[in-house]
């Protein structure tokens, strides 16, 4: 059967180059080659995020959760009013972190599979503004990995900007796979982790902060915990960008080498001398095409999605409802066919669906993608839901191979 293929929404399959970089013996954080890799990675983040030249890229050892915590503590004072756009499990985690950081948290909550409309978010911001109690910040999850719902990030950011609120996106399951135009959209913090659509191993928290976000930190009355404090870290990131080593806390040197390789694969596509912007456009288009092909396959198998409408369905993963008569045993039956997928995560519907990640390097591996479609189809059959496996594979290929 060969090695199983990892099709969960992170960690994901690594490319051979990223794997090789990750397996390097950890270099000194002062080694010239490491200084170069770290500095280059920070520079390239601006490119992948499409962030302004005066934005600050940030990399620390940790996960997406740590990146979320950093945003909460560096932007807000106790009592600041924040609006959390809740599309699922990770939005709720953000709300809890903000409460613990002392913020006055207001939520606009969608049913599982739905997103609050940008119009409703604009109305909440407008009402608060009119009442003389404006929101200091809006927090939204670009793709909520628990539902596979992608919010309309551009429209939400436009409303936040209109009412003078900082805009923060938890883009852990999006950055590198979903369209993002940080500067043009006016987002202030876009954060992610290394093990999702960026294509690295787990272990790094990554953020890009706008000048307004840095200004918010500068104006805080309460200092963040030192290990989370952007002021402790920023001189380090700036030094590495200038190709000088610096120390506050030891960087995860092997992971940074892997990140450097992963970012290099994103910004330098195989098409020689394609400009880097074109590289991002190509990357997003590949994720869209792959997701579209999977959706065609799921439809052919008689499956429906958790996202309530096609425009809400993320391109980085599929959240798929179990059909009548099938339950969470499906995940194990798929696993027995050499494909690792994930169960449900949203507490309200946990037992009703499963999740298939399709981001990063694996989306270029057609045999693994077809194996995934067939594994799902055959496992459904084993559990009594007869499904046309070869039709689903053909539906997949039809969209995947489309020009
Ligand atoms: C995975 C994920 C997180 C948490 O990241 P960890 O690295 O597991 O801490 C947060 N938000 C979203 C949207 C995620 O997909």
User: Could you read off the pLDDT of 390-400 as tens digits, one per residue?
Assistant: 999 999 999 99
Calculated CA dihedral for residues 310, 311, 317, 321, nearest 10 degrees: -30
| CA 94/CA 73 separation, integer angstroms | 12
Q: Which pair of structure tokens corresponds to residue 289? A: 């095409």
Beta bridge partners of 357: 317
Length of the chain in residues, anyone?
403
234 lines ligand 1 (CB under 6 A): no
307 lines ligand 1 (CB under 6 A): no
**Cα separations (Å) of 86 from 7, 219, 240, 255?**
25, 27, 36, 31
- What was the pLDDT predicted at 268? 83
Helices (H), 179-301: 182-185, 211-218, 230-241, 253-267, 276-300
91 lines ligand 1 (CB under 6 A): no
316 lines ligand 1 (CB under 6 A): no
Q: Is the sign of the CA dihedral 250, 255, 258, 259 positive or negative?
A: negative
- What was the pLDDT predicted at 1? 60
Q: Which pair of structure tokens corresponds to residue 127? A: 């009402």
Q: Is the sign of the CA dihedral 114, 119, 121, 124 positive or negative?
A: negative
Can you tell me the mean pLDDT for 26-48? 97
Can you tell me the mean pLDDT for 353-380? 98
- What was the pLDDT predicted at 403? 67
User: Are the C-beta atoms of residues 255 and 201 closer than 8 Å to each other?
Assistant: yes
pLDDT at 227 over 50: yes
Q: Which atom of ligand 1 is nearest to the CA of 171?
A: 13
Distance 72 CA to ligand 1 centre (A): 15
| CA 81/CA 75 separation, integer angstroms | 11
Helices (H), 319-388: 329-335, 366-382
pLDDT at 40 over 80: yes
| CA 234/CA 248 separation, integer angstroms | 10
Q: Which atom of ligand 1 is nearest to the CA of 195?
A: 7
Q: Quick one: which of 69, 64, 21, 13 has its CA closest to 41?
A: 21
User: Could you read off the pLDDT of 252-299 as tens digits, one per residue?
Assistant: 999 999 999 999 999 986 545 556 678 899 999 999 999 999 999 999
Pocket test for ligand 1, best of 9, 10, 12 (most atoms within 8 A of CB): 10
143-144 and 149-150 as β-strands: parallel, antiparallel, unpaired?
A: antiparallel
Q: Is the peptide bond before 351 cis (omega within 30 degrees of 0)?
A: no
CB atoms within 10 A of CB 130: 10
Distance 170 CA to ligand 1 centre (A): 8
Residue nearest (by alpha carbon) to ligand 1 atom 5: 64
Beta bridge partners of 6: 340
Q: Which atom of ligand 1 is nearest to the CA of 9?
A: 15
User: Could you read off the pLDDT of 238-248 as tens digits, one per residue?
Assistant: 999 999 999 99
Distance 176 CA to ligand 1 centre (A): 14
Task: Please give the angle made by the CA atoms of 244, 248 and 252, to the nearest 5 degrees.
Answer: 80
Q: Which atom of ligand 1 is nearest to the CA of 68?
A: 10
Calculated CA dihedral for residues 118, 192, 20, 337, nearest 10 degrees: -60
Q: Which helix (H) or strand (E) holds 42?
A: helix 32-49
Can you tell me the mean pLDDT for 69-78? 98
Can you tell me the mean pLDDT for 59-68? 98
pLDDT at 384 over 70: yes
pLDDT at 318 over 50: yes
Distance 70 CA to ligand 1 centre (A): 14
Q: Quick one: which of 218, 201, 235, 178 has its CA closest to 58?
A: 235
Distance 106 CA to ligand 1 centre (A): 21
pLDDT at 127 over 50: yes
Instruction: Determine the 3-state secondary structure of 65 from DSSP.
Output: helix
């Amino acid at each position: 059967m060969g090695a199983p293929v990892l099709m969960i929404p992170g960690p994901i399959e690594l490319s051979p180059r990223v794997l090789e970089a990750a397996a390097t013996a950890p270099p000194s954080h002062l080694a010239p080659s490491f200084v170069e890799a770290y500095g280059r990675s920070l520079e390239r983040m601006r490119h992948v995020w499409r962030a302004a030249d005066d934005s600050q890229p940030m990399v620390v050892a940790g996960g997406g959760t740590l990146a979320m915590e950093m945003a909460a503590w560096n932007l807000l004072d106790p009592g600041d009013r924040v609006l959390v756009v809740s599309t699922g499990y990770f939005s709720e985690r953000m709300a809890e972190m903000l409460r613990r950081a002392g913020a006055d948290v207001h939520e606009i909550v969608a049913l599982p599979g739905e997103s609050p409309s940008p119009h409703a978010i604009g109305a909440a911001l407008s009402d608060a503004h009119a009442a003389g109690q404006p929101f200091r910040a809006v927090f939204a999850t670009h793709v909520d990995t628990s539902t596979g719902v992608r919010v309309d990030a551009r429209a939400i950011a436009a409303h936040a900007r209109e009412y003078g609120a900082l805009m923060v996106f938890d883009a852990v399951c999006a950055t590198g796979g979903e369209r993002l135009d940080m500067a043009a959209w006016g987002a202030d913090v876009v954060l992610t982790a290394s093990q999702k659509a960026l294509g690295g191993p787990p272990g790094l928290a990554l953020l890009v902060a706008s000048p307004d976000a840095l200004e918010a930190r500068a104006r805080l009355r309460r200092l963040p915990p030192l290990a989370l404090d952007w002021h402790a870290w920023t001189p380090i990131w700036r030094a590495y960008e200038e190709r000088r080593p610096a120390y506050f806390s030891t960087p995860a040197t092997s992971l940074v080498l892997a990140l450097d390789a992963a970012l290099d694969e994103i910004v330098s596509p195989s098409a020689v001398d394609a400009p880097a912007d074109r590289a991002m456009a190509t990357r997003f288009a590949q994720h869209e095409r792959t997701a579209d092909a999977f959706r065609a396959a799921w439809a052919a198998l008689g499956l429906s999605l958790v996202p309530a409408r096609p425009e809400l369905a993320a391109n980085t993963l599929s959240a798929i409802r179990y059909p009548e008569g099938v339950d969470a045993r499906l995940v194990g039956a798929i696993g027995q066919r050499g494909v690792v997928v994930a169960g449900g995560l949203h507490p309200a519907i946990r037992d009703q669906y499963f999740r298939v990640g399709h981001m990063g390097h694996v989306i270029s591996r057609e045999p693994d993608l077809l194996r995934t479609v067939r594994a799902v189809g055959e496992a459904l059959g084993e559990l009594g839901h007869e499904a046309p496996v070869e039709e689903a594979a053909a539906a997949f290929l039809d969209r995947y191979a489309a020009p």
